[in-house]
């Protein structure tokens, strides 16, 4: 028996999206094969990394995150600038957690003002995230989208209950959308169909299928991503061909293990890195992360995997 | 490769004698194809049929055992490319590299750390599974002494690595009964190495000097030609990108093409690609966990590296058809006392983890009563009639919670608010309070509840 490389034939391709403007713009997705398998398809863009900051001081963040940034976290534009200059991610994710009714319940105007500050502070593309409170996100997103008008940003996260508002905001200001569904391949597809049927272009949708942390349901996210990629690439399902975003930092740092700081490198750093790596192995196209060292580990690995 | 019922039918006697307890040979063939019957049940099967059907029923990736008795680790026998298709069966083994050039004190320290490090997670006791001893020095005595040192200090399955066959023989003289995995046979030495592994009853790593999967499969065919099959593959990939590609190609060739020469578990060395960076080494190991490595050799097994890798392996190797469950009992979160709130939820591990995590993050000490509903989430369990007022009443009465708290207030998940009336009528002493629908609302709920 002689060996021949067993290759898969792919009939579909992930949509290639462009975010941001000018020389800092970033392309995401576009692959026509499973992760790493460049011997049988193209992976034109390596997985992208966005680093997360918040509109208000994140009291609830774990200590290793607070200590890495220090007081700069109290000044949103300074924090944004620091991330761009020191961590050099592909994008910056601004989470407007302060708008949540259980937090500071900041108004749409306050939120938009923060977005404006961040837009002015950075050159890399911006992701604007609400607090995932369906009603409140609906209330603030139009104003926030306007504050970044023309920047080709990404706004999120649109859910089944508020996707129309997100679509309108994104369309009027030239942004893309992150569509969030509940760890279920059918719900993910359903939301993409709803969005496109409402007239929103498929080429401007990112999918977030909900990212559970390592040890806390990571395998569900992992298999949902794998199944979406199989449908997208092998069955050419056009409603599954949107790039996948994994919002890792927020989940990885929430778990009990990540609070352990007795080790040489904080456990949370590895929890975030390995959760991220799991999703990239399944087919994730973009990560939203928190700790610079975790970003560094992922970046080194990705470079070794894709850059010859 | 698995044969279809019709293909199997061709090899059966076609007498429809019924001795197999099935009415016809075709019915029996169908049962064989579904692996619900054994060819042994057919007394008239020809030798040819036994041989062909026997080979076809062999798993596409051979099961390999390292060690013996309590210190036995099994790898291989995987059947799918994607875990959702069925499941990944035998969790990959994490192996700690020890070099015989290390000082005795250092080796003792590594051993003592490995002995101390047992981590409990979801009912499993996790530890570094295998110890890899490398004859880096090339010196026979150093190698043998290191093996002795490890054997005296710790009980774990072993892998012995030397390029010198005499040194391997000397080491095996003192530990062959523990059935270590031997590293490694290549184009130059495979005949003597195979003879040695056969004689000692050990499994053998095969790696090609020439490199590439073509050369590797030629080599394993020569070795199986010598009547030896207990093989582990080291693809010796040149770069990380070729490693992950070759891991996929090996798994695919074995499972989808029934390519026997690569139908064996794979060992990888994360440190070969990590430039001495231990965090990068850990992340490379993580790729190995999900993408088809069976043994992962690492130079660093610190807690912050192993605990996330253990969690990842548990996740990836969970049977997707059997939800992970936690034990039905009362979980104490924080310094809960007789005045602390009492919450109830179901025993689907994900539900439990998320609810317990949010309760913990609220910093409000609480009691969490977990009901055994066969691993379903709250809403599914309610819909399936498993999370009912009767079930909850029984649990409240029998769990002992009534003697642990002074109050009689029970918080139920918001999604099953409809159960409140039913529970109150069965538990007249208790006041049922409806908590949030989603776990994300727990922090706020408990903070206001306590206030």
Same domain, B302 and B386: no
Same domain, B32 and B79: no
Same domain, B46 and B73: no
Residues of chain A with pLDDT under 70: 308
With CB atoms and an 8 Å threshold, state whether B312 touches A256: no
The partner residue sitting opposite A300, judged by closest CB among B248, B280, B315, is B280
Same domain, B52 and B70: no
Same domain, B231 and B342: no
Residue B322 included in any domain: no
At B451 the pLDDT is 53
Torsion of CA B164, B169, B170, B176, to 10 degrees: 140
Q: How far is A21 from chain B (nearest CA, A)?
A: 31
Residue B325 included in any domain: no
Domain boundary among B316, B341, B360: B316
Q: What is the CATH number of the domain that holds B74?
A: 3.20.20.20
Q: How far is A213 from chain B (nearest CA, A)?
A: 10
Same domain, B98 and B234: yes
pLDDT by residue (tens digit) across B33-50? 877 778 888 888 888 888
What's the ipTM? 0.97
Query: What is the C-alpha radius of gyration for chain B, rounded to an integer number of angstroms?
Result: 28
Torsion of CA B295, B301, B306, B307, to 10 degrees: 150
pLDDT by residue (tens digit) across B261-315? 999 999 999 999 999 999 999 999 999 999 999 999 999 999 999 999 999 999 9
Residue B194 near residue B204 (C-beta atoms within 8 A): yes
At B440 the pLDDT is 85
Same domain, B270 and B393: no
User: Alpha-carbon distance B179 to A87, whole Å?
Assistant: 49
User: Alpha-carbon distance B297 to B98, whole Å?
Assistant: 10
Alpha helices in chain A (DSSP H): 63-69, 76-82, 108-121, 134-147, 163-173, 185-197, 218-233, 248-252, 267-282, 292-306
Residue B321 included in any domain: no
Q: Give the best residue of B263, B290, B316 to mutate against chain A (max A CB count within 10 A).
A: B290
Residue A15 near residue A242 (C-beta atoms within 8 A): yes
Q: How far is A127 from chain B (nearest CA, A)?
A: 23
pLDDT by residue (tens digit) across B2-22? 678 888 888 889 999 988 888
Q: Which token pair is A132?
A: 């995932």
At B321 the pLDDT is 81
Q: Give the best residue of B304, B324, B352, B449 to mutate against chain A (max A CB count within 10 A).
A: B304
Q: How many CB atoms lie within 10 A of CB A167?
A: 23
The partner residue sitting opposite B259, judged by closest CB among A1, A36, A278, is A1
Residue B324 included in any domain: no
Q: What is the CATH number of the domain that holds B365?
A: 3.40.50.11600
Residue B54 near residue B256 (C-beta atoms within 8 A): no
Domain ranges of chain A: 46-305
pLDDT by residue (tens digit) across B131-157? 999 999 999 999 999 999 999 999 999
Q: Does domain A46-305 have CATH number 3.40.50.10860?
A: no
Total domains present in chain B: 3
Which residue range forms the structural domain that includes residue B114? 64-316
Q: What is the CATH number of the domain that holds B27?
A: 1.10.15.40
Same domain, B312 and B339: no
Q: How far is B26 from chain A (nearest CA, A)?
A: 31
With CB atoms and an 8 Å threshold, state whether B239 touches A304: yes
Same domain, B370 and B279: no
Same domain, B300 and B388: no
State how far the alpha carbon of B239 is from the alpha carbons of B99, B289, B366, in Å.
Answer: 23, 18, 51
pLDDT by residue (tens digit) across B84-111? 999 999 999 999 999 999 999 999 999 9
Same domain, B133 and B42: no
With CB atoms and an 8 Å threshold, state whether A266 touches B312: no
With CB atoms and an 8 Å threshold, state whether A6 touches B252: yes
Same domain, B268 and B220: yes
Domain boundary among B40, B57, B74: B57
Q: Which token pair is B431?
A: 């006041």
């Amino acid at each position: 028996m002689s060996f021949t490389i067993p290759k898969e034939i792919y009939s579909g391709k992930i949509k290639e999206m462009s975010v941001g403007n000018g020389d800092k713009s970033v392309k995401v997705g576009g692959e026509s094969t499973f992760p790493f398998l460049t011997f049988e398809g193209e992976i034109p863009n390596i997985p992208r990394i966005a680093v997360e900051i918040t509109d208000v001081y994140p009291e609830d963040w774990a200590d290793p995150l607070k200590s890495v940034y220090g007081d700069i976290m109290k000044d949103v534009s300074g924090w944004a600038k620091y991330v761009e200059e020191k961590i050099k991610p592909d994008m910056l994710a601004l989470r407007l957690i302060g708008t949540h009714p259980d937090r500071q319940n900041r108004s749409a105007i306050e939120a938009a003002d923060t977005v404006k500050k961040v837009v002015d502070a950075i050159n890399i593309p911006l992701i604007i995230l609400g607090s995932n409170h369906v009603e409140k996100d609906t209330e603030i997103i139009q104003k926030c989208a306007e504050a970044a008008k023309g920047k080709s940003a990404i706004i999120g996260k649109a859910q089944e209950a508020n996707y129309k508002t997100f679509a309108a905001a994104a369309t009027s200001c030239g942004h893309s959308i992150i569509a969030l569904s509940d760890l279920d391949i059918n719900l993910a597809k359903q939301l993409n169909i709803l969005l496109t049927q409402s007239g929103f272009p498929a080429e401007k949708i990112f999918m977030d299928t909900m990212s559970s942390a390592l040890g806390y349901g990571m395998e569900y996210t992992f298999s949902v991503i794998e199944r979406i990629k199989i449908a997208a690439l092998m069955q050419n399902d056009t409603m599954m061909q949107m790039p996948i975003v994994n919002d890792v930092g927020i989940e990885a740092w929430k778990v009990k293990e990540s609070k352990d700081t007795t080790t040489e490198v904080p456990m949370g750093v590895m929890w975030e890195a390995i959760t991220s790596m799991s999703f990239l192995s399944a087919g994730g196209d973009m990560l939203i992360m928190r700790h610079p060292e975790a970003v560094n580990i992922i970046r080194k690995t990705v470079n070794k995997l894709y850059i010859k | 490769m698995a044969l279809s019922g019709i293909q199997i039918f061709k090899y059966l006697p076609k007498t429809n004698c019924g001795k197999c307890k099935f009415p016809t040979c075709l019915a029996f063939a169908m049962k064989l194809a579904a692996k619900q019957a054994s060819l042994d049940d057919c007394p008239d099967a020809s030798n040819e049929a036994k041989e062909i059907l026997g080979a076809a029923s062999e798993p596409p990736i051979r099961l390999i055992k390292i060690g013996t008795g309590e210190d036995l680790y099994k790898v291989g026998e995987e059947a799918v490319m994607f875990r959702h298709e069925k499941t990944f069966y035998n969790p990959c083994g994490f192996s700690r590299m020890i070099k015989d050039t290390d000082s005795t004190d250092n080796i003792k320290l590594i051993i003592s750390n490995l002995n101390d490090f047992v981590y409990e997670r979801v009912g499993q006791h996790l530890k570094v599974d295998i110890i890899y001893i490398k004859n880096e020095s090339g010196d026979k005595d150093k190698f043998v002494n290191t093996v002795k040192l490890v054997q005296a200090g710790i009980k774990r399955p072993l892998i012995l690595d030397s390029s010198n066959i005499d040194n391997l023989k000397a080491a095996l003289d003192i530990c062959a009964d523990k059935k270590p995995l031997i590293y490694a046979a290549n184009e130059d030495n495979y005949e003597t190495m195979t003879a040695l592994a056969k004689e000692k009853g050990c499994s053998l790593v095969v790696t090609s000097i020439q490199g590439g999967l073509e050369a590797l499969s030629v080599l394993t065919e020569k070795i199986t030609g010598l009547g030896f099959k207990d093989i582990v593959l080291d693809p010796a990939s040149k770069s990380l990108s070729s490693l992950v590609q070759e891991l996929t190609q090996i798994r695919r060739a074995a499972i989808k093409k029934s390519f026997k020469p690569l139908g064996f578990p794979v060992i990888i060395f994360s440190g070969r690609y990590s430039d001495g960076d231990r965090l990068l080494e850990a992340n490379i190991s993580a790729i190995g966990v999900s993408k088809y490595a069976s043994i992962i050799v690492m130079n660093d097994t610190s807690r912050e590296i192993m605990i996330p890798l253990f969690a990842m392996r548990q996740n990836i190797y969970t049977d997707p058809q059997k939800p992970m469950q936690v034990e039905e009992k009362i979980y104490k979160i924080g310094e809960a006392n007789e005045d602390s709130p009492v919450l109830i939820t179901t025993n689907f591990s994900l539900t439990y983890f998320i609810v317990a995590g949010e309760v913990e993050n609220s910093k409000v000490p609480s009691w969490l009563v977990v009901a055994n509903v066969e691993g379903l989430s709250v809403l599914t369990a309610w819909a399936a009639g498993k999370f009912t007022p009767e079930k909850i009443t029984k649990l409240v009465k029998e769990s002992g919670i009534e003697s642990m708290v002074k109050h009689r207030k029970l918080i139920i998940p918001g999604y099953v608010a409809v159960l409140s009336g039913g529970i109150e009528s069965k538990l007249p002493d208790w006041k049922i309070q409806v908590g949030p629908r989603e776990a994300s609302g727990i922090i706020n709920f408990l903070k206001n509840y306590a206030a």
